[in-house]
Amino acid sequence: MAKVLVAYYSRTGNTKKMAEIISVVLKDEGLQVDIKNISETNVDELINYDIIVFGSPTYYGSMAYQLKQLIDESVKLHGKLQGKIGAAFASAGNVAGGNETTISGILNAFLIHGMIVQGDSRGDHYGPVSLGLPDERAIKECQRFAKRNAVLAKKLFG
């Protein structure tokens, strides 16, 4: 049974809500899921998971610094995350735009760790995006995203 970490930074609760929707589907798909606020996430734990899912609001076209801090600290694990699955989602808070570059920035960090990333040919291609509180469209995107990554996890980790 593959193990998943869903870690998020959320100030308004929108990104947290996305994390919860994603976690429910990942559990329904039979994966073992831990869902954590970034402030509760110790960088050393990353090594225990097969899938790492990061969520962040979009601040000035990239992830919140709180998540970036965790990623910067992950240099101590460099090389040890190779082959894991990485996935990302984003919400738009105060300032519109920049969601795609936020998700791309997180995916780039995963690629630099040697991780595996999958896109989606429908909907939000790089990862789900919610404008404010997740509406029906964003909820469905989060669910598709979780299902797709669960399918990939089963192929890679049994």
- Applying CB under 8 A, which residues contact its own copies? 59-66, 68-69, 71-72, 74-75, 78-79, 81-83, 94-101, 104-105, 107-126, 152, 155-156
Closest to its own copies by CB, 36 vs 148, is 148
Closest to its own copies by CB, 20 vs 71, is 71
Helix (H, G, I), strand (E, B) or coil at 28: helix
Closest to its own copies by CB, 7 vs 109, is 109
* Nearest to 79, CA basis, from 37, 32, 125, 46: 46
Provide, rounded to whole angstroms, the least separation between the CB of residue 142 and its own copies: 15
As a whole number of angstroms, the distance between CA 53 and CA 19 comes to 9
Helix (H, G, I), strand (E, B) or coil at 79: coil
Provide, rounded to whole angstroms, the least separation between the CB of residue 89 and its own copies: 14
Give the HSE-up count for residue 113: Cα atoms under 13 Å, Cβ half-sphere.
Answer: 29
Closest to its own copies by CB, 33 vs 64, is 64
> First CA to last CA across the chain, in angstroms?
7
Provide, rounded to whole angstroms, the least separation between the CB of residue 144 and its own copies: 11
